Every structure is written in structure tokens, then in C-alpha cells.
A and B are shown apart, each in its own frame.
Chain A
Amino acid sequence: MQLTKRQKEYWQRTIRFTAILLSVWFVVTFVVSYYARELSGIRIFGFPLGFYMGAQGSLIIYVIIIWFYARYMNALDQEYGVSEGDETDSAN
């Protein structure tokens, strides 16, 4: 199977976007947790920030990452004319 230029480009863009989102995931998960002690001085809704991120903040960012990924990839499919278009789904 010979890859077309458009196909290569599609894959490059997928990879790039995945890498960006994964680095957000990495920072939110590991970097923030690593500095949880230092963040405890700041308070948000009564929580120390380190605790808040572990209990709620990071979780909400995870959902947003996944929502954003689904949205971006669906748009990419449309742009390259390979959208399956077999349903209306409500994640967008």
C-alpha cells in the first residue's frame, strides 16, 4: 500500500495533536502532583490547591482533553473527506 501525501499529512497532524494533549496530561498529572506540597499554600473553594487538583481539577482537565481530542479528530476527518458520517453523536 503506497501512502498518499494527504494520508501522510493526516497522520502527521494526528501525531502532533496527540503529543500536545499528552504533554498537557503529563503536566497535570505528574508535575502538579510532584509539587503538591508547595501548592498547598494557595486555596481554592476552601481546598489547598494541591489537594484540589488531585481530587477535582485534574479530573476535569482529563475530560476536557478527551472531549477536545474527539472534536479535533472529527474535524480532521471532515477536512480530509474521510468522515464516516454514520451517526449524529453528542460529544461535539
Chain B
Amino acid sequence: MRRYYALYAGSFFTFVLALGILEQHGMPPRWIGYAFLFLTIILYATIGVLARTSNVSEYYVAGRRIPAIFNGMATGADWMSAASFIGLAGTLYLTGYQGLAYVLGWTGGYVLVALLLAPYLRRFGQYTIPDFLGARYGGHAARLVGVFATVLASFVYVVAQIYGVGVITSRFVGLQFEIGVFVGLAGILVCSFLGGMRAVTWTQVAQYLVLIVAYLAPVTMLSFKVTGVPVPQIMYGQVLQKIELLEDRISSDPAEIDVRRLFLERADELAERISGLPGSLAVEKRILSARIDQMKNSNAQMRDIFALERQRRELPKNADVARDRWDSLMRQATQRGGELTRHAEAFPGIDEVASNTARINFIALVFCLMVGTAALPHVLMRYYTTPSVRAARSSVFWSLLFILALYLTAPAYAVFAKYEIYSHLVGSSIAQLPGWIGAWGKVGLVSIEDINGDGILQLAELSLNPDVIVLATPEIAGLPYVISGLVAAGALAAALSTADGLLLTIASALSHDAYYKVFRPQATTQWRLVVSKTLLLVVAVMAAMVASQKPATILFMVAWAFSLAGAAFFPALVLGIFWKRANKAGAISGMLIGLLVTLYYMVRVQYNAIPWLGIHGIGMEPWLGIQSTSAGVWGVAVGFITIVVVSLLTDPPSTETMNFVESIRTPDFSSH
């Protein structure tokens, strides 16, 4: 196996090198994009077809024969989604220290997996997470609550991945977004449809190698260019110090201060307009009409008149639309006019109170992401696939090690990109900006507004979408296009591998737990696989349909998925292993109440955050100022308390259950 993958890695490098040489000889960028997109998908499909299976154990848990190190790689690919690959470095660029909550949360969660869950789930040795809940707490109710939570959390997540595939294919290959979504869907299905977990695991190993090379290559070259040492993870400390000096210089620059004041003035003006609705909309229209008339009378350029007429046509249709649009413009202006975020400063805030709120939110988010990591079924399921408990333990170690390769690099990405932008871009003439600004401006990820009209770019005049940092770094660093193609292939691998794992998890929960275990226990093994494969197809098409609607709040929903999964599963799983007294009534009520509290908090705090909808009655102040993305803090705590209280108030579980708990806690002593 190792030899195959060494051979595979070798041919991948040759492929990238060959494309690089072809580019030198004038191969057009579009063809490079096609080559990366289709050849990698064909590669994954080949592995998927070779690993096809119709054996139940192979299909659900890859025959429990995946060696620890490969399972670690597959878990890494499964774990690192489009959000980690594309979004994380950009979030760190924009928010500095606060963004480290994601880095900490998404890695520290593996400590909980390793110490509290993985070895015990492997010793239990069934197929899914609802399987464990069903066996530990007895009856179908706990299992079905588990199925519901699995499907809820995983579906939201899989939609985000397919959406990511659509974005990548449409930007790099020029496919239409909707077509890109379905090309991606085909890529996902060829891996998971025929071979289940076995095929998914082996393609994920291949995808891990592509994505990690693609992530490390550009930033390593950038580090070499800036510092002369190609180890970005160590060198970015020095660059960070330079950034601190640049931050001082930028924030004391008079032009910069002026630009920020102009943005704040605009925000005030918009706020005034919003409070003057609906009258202010009519005023706005009158002012524009008056200016158009005046220009027509004074023989102004037709082009300017047309521009103003279009502005008048595009005015919001009614007060509600106007409020929506102006509110988002006001937020943007406020943000751009605000103080410069210092990259390395922990918990920035204008005063002690704001800083402490930032701190508590940081810690709450870290907690939710960690507990969510240790409760997402598609990750936990992986530890059923190792040959032994011992292998499960070391497999978590390998998983985290492979994941760290990306997470240790993401903050370096952010710092190097920031250095390039602060030192070279800011202060340069707007007429002579580098080409990548225009190219990414066309797809709407970069925009520039010369608000003070001095023809020079101030930092606040530049607005970047977080996704652009990773995608544009090759161009920022002036690397050949083949590297951009490599990055696109890596992002695609990250999205596809996560989507595969999630789809399989949803299909197993529905076919194995709901259909086979609850509704039709007499189903034959062949029939179960047919049901599972059909469900996989149906869920995949549904997810692609939702994704092609371009739901705007998708990233927000992903953060919610972590909180929901954490609140639903974590207390029931951990107490199920470590507290024998936990019983059925306690677990079911704990899972449900945990889920409900999380949902309740999300909805009410979120409504409160949109005061202009006029629903203050329903909204509430966040408790301790914690944002809705960290709602799981309350859900998890309430879940634990409910399980303990309800279990103590009801009868202890049967001797049989007690014996079951003993059997997963320690190895079998009787045969020794």
C-alpha cells in the first residue's frame, strides 16, 4: 500500500512539473485549469471504482482493516473542508488573534476524541454513532434522536462543501456555477457510491496528499521570497514584527485617518436615512431627479446622465428593501471606518468591557468548536475502521499530526499575505495596481473605493473577501499560473473529501439505523446496501439542489452545525462511557433539551441582532454577551445537567447495560 502511494505522489509531482513546463511553452491558463480539474477527478474515480464493494462490513467500516497511519490521513482529508482550506487563512487575515479560536478549536477537539471517545467506540465495534446510543441506552428512541441529529448537522455541512465545489469550478475553469455544482456532485458520487467507506477512505488518502501539497507550496515560496528561508511556520514570527511596525505607520498616516473619518461620516449619513424611512426614500429620489434635470439643462455628458438615471432606477423599490440595503452598506462603512485591527493583539476592544466580551466570546467559540469536533459523526465513525483499539488510539495521533500540517500553516499564510499587502500595495497609485486586484475584482472578491479621491490606495479603501487570501496568494507572490491550478485542485480535494464522508454518514444513519434497525430488521444484507446506495444518491442530489440556490448564510450555518452536534451528542456519549448510572430517560431528555436550548439561543440572539425587523419582543440580550455561533456552550452544559438530574430521578439502568459499559471500558480480561 505504501508503495502505491509513494508511486502516486511521484507521478503527481511529475504531472505538476509537466504542466509548469507546458505553461512556459504557452499553454493557456484555461487548459491548465481543465487539466487539474478533470485529471484529479478521474484519479479519484479510478480509486473509487477499484475499491467497489457489496460487502456490508466493507461498505460501512472498510472491513476494519485500515492501518492507523492511513486512517489518520483519511480523517485529515475528511476533516479539512473547503472552509479550512479556503476560509481559515482569510479569517485570520481579517481578524488577527480572534481568528485563532478556529485554529485552537478545530485541533484541540481531537484531544477529547482521543481520550474520551475513540478507543471506547472502537472497542464497542459497530457501524455508526446512533448504533452506540441504541446499544448503551436501549430501545429505538435514543437511536432515532441520534439519527435526527446526525442528519441535521451533516446535511448543513455537506451543502456548504458542494457550494464550495461550485465556487472553485466556476472561478478556475469558467464553468457556470450550477453546472460546476453538478460536475462536483459527479466527482463525489463516483467515490462513495460504489465502494462506501472503503472507497471513500482510499480516495481520501489520495485527496489528502493533493490538498496538503497545494496548501504548502505557495506559502513556502512566498516565505522564501520574503525571508530567504522556505519554512513559513517558523519565519512568520519575524514578519509579524515587521507588520506591527507597518500597523503603527499606517494608523498614524494622515491620509489613512482622513479616509476612515470619511467612511464613518458615510455610515452616519446612512443611519440618518434609515431612521427617516419611508420619507427619506422619496427625498433621495427627488434629489436624483433634480440633479438629472439640472444636468440635462446644462448640456452635460450623456454618459454621466445615464449613470445617474441608472442610479435612480436602482433605488430600492420600497422601504423594507431600502432598510435592508442601507443597513448592510452602513455596516460596511462602519467597519471600514473603524480602528485598524492589530494582528497580534489579543482581545482588541475600545475599552476594558469590550475587550472582556471579546475574550469570553473567544473562549466560548473555542469550547463549542472543540466539543463539536468531538461530536461530529463523520469524524467519530472513522475510528470504527481501524483494526484494533490500539490502532484507534494511534490513529487519532496521526489524524491530528496530518491536520496540523495545514493548521500550523494557516496563520503564516495570513501574515505573509498581510505583509505583502501592507508593505507593497498600501500607498501605491491606484492607476498602477498589480493585475491580481483587477482579476479578483471581476469576480467580486476584491474592491477598491478611492473615497478621498487622492489617487493613492489607503488601507481602508481596500476591501478583501476572506476567501481571496489562499486563492490569490500565488498571484500576490508572482508565481506561475500552474501553482494557482494546484491550489484550485487542493481546494477541490478538500471539499470533495469532506462531502464524501458526510454523505456516507447521512446515508448510513438513515439506511442502517432508521431503516434496518428500527423499521425493517428482517431486511437482507444485499437489500440494505441497495437502500443505502439509493439514499446516498437522493441525499446528494438534494444537497446539490440546495447548494445551487446559493444560500447566502452558509458559513454561518456551518458554525451552527458544530454547536448543534456538540449539544446533541457530546454529553450523551461521554456520560454513556464514564457514568454507568446514566440511563435511557436521562440520555433522551438530555439530548433533546440540549438541542432545543441551542436552537432557542441561536434564534433569539440572532433575531435580537437584527433590531430593524421590529421584533424586539422575541429577541433577547445574549447571555454574558456570547454570540449565537457559540450557542453550544449553553446547550452542552444544559445537556450534561439534564442527563445527570433525570437519570438520578429515574431507575438505574439494567444489569445488562451495566455489563455493556464494563465491556467497552476495559479490554477482555477473561481470555488471558
- Which residues of A line the B interface, CB within 8 A? 1, 3-4, 6-7, 10-11, 14-15, 18, 21-22, 25, 29-30, 33-34, 36-37, 39-40, 44-48, 50-52, 54-56, 58-60, 62-63, 65-67, 69-70, 73-74, 77, 80-84, 86-87, 89-92
Contact = CB atoms under 8 A, between A and B. Distances in A.
Given A54-B100, A62-B111, A30 B363 contact: yes
**Which of B100, B370, B388, B389 is most buried by chain A, counting CB atoms within 10 A of its CB?**
B100
B27 interface: no
A58 B108 contact: yes
B668 interface: yes
Given A65-B111, A66-B400, A90 B69 contact: yes
Interface stretch (B113-121, B264-272, B435-443, B607-615): B113-121
A74 B534 CA distance: 41
A70 B394 contact: yes
B202 to A, nearest CB: 19
A68 B393 CA distance: 10
Given A18-B116, A62-B400, A83 B237 contact: no
B250 interface: no
Given A36-B97, A87-B67, A50 B346 contact: yes
A69 B115 contact: yes
Given A18-B116, A33-B104, A63 B390 contact: no
Contacts, number: 171
Contacts of A84: 388-390, 667
B391 A87 contact: yes
Contact of A51 (B97, B366, B578): B97
A91 B398 contact: yes
B398 to A, nearest CB: 7
B68 interface: yes
Contacts of B237: 44-47, 52
Contacts of A47: 237, 240, 344
10 contacts: A14-B666, A29-B108, A50-B97, A58-B104, A59-B103, A59-B407, A70-B393, A87-B390, A89-B69, A91-B394
Given A1-B662, A37-B347, A82-B672, A66 B240 contact: no
B582 to A, nearest CB: 16
Nearest to A38: B346
Given A29-B108, A47-B344, A70-B394, A18 B401 contact: no
Main secondary structure of the interface of A (DSSP, over half): helix
A91 B387 CA distance: 15
A82 B400 CA distance: 27
A91 B68 contact: yes
B326 interface: no
Contacts of B390: 70, 73-74, 77, 83-84, 86-87, 89
B359 A34 contact: yes
A92 B407 CA distance: 24
A90 to B, nearest CB: 6
Chain B contact patch, size range: 35 or more
Given A54-B97, A54-B100, A37 B346 contact: yes
B628 interface: no
B104 A21 contact: no
Nearest to B105: A29
B394 A1 contact: no
B220 interface: no
Given A33-B363, A45-B234, A54 B397 contact: no
A92 B68 CA distance: 12
Nearest to B663: A1
Contacts of B104: 29, 33, 54, 58-59
Contacts of B545: none
B355 interface: yes
A37 B387 CA distance: 45
A50 to B, nearest CB: 5
A62 B110 contact: yes
B222 interface: no
A82 B667 contact: yes
B498 interface: no
Contacts of A73: 119, 390, 393
B79 interface: no
Contact of A37 (B108, B241, B355, B401): B355
A23 B396 CA distance: 19
A36 B100 CA distance: 12
Contacts of B324: none
Contact of B666 (A7, A18, A45): A7
The 4 closest A-B pairs by CB, nearest first: A46-B237, A91-B394, A54-B100, A36-B346
Given A1-B663, A47-B237, A82-B669, A29 B370 contact: yes
